[in-house]
Amino acid sequence: MIRSDLARLQDACACAMRAIESAAIKAMRNHIVHGYWQIRPLVILRLAQSDLPALVRMLDELTKRIETSLAKP
């Protein structure tokens, strides 16, 4: 991979990643892993139902941007 390809890939990832709340995702993961005894299953279910579809769409968009970026000459 040459430098310009890497730069395009980094730009595509940076744009898409700004839309994804990675800090909130990490915090949820840490709470589930380290505070599992405090978890309320209905809260997790509601979050998964309301937030997961949007996250999947964002990750799909990120994947498309990366693929497009890599396909450019």
pLDDT mean across residues, the chain? 79
Q: Residue 33: pLDDT above 80?
A: yes
Cα dist from 65 to 7, 25, 32, 47, 73, whole Å: 13, 21, 31, 26, 14
Q: Residue 1: pLDDT above 60?
A: no
Average pLDDT over residues 18-34: 81
What pLDDT sits at residue 6? Answer: 67
Query: On the CB side of 68, how many CA atoms lie within 13 Å of its CA?
Result: 10
**Residues spanned by the domain of 32:** 3-71
What pLDDT sits at residue 5? Answer: 65
Q: What is the pLDDT of residues 43-59, one digit of tens each?
A: 889 988 998 898 888 88
Q: What is the rounded distance in angstroms from the CA atom of residue 43 to the CA atom of residue 32?
A: 12
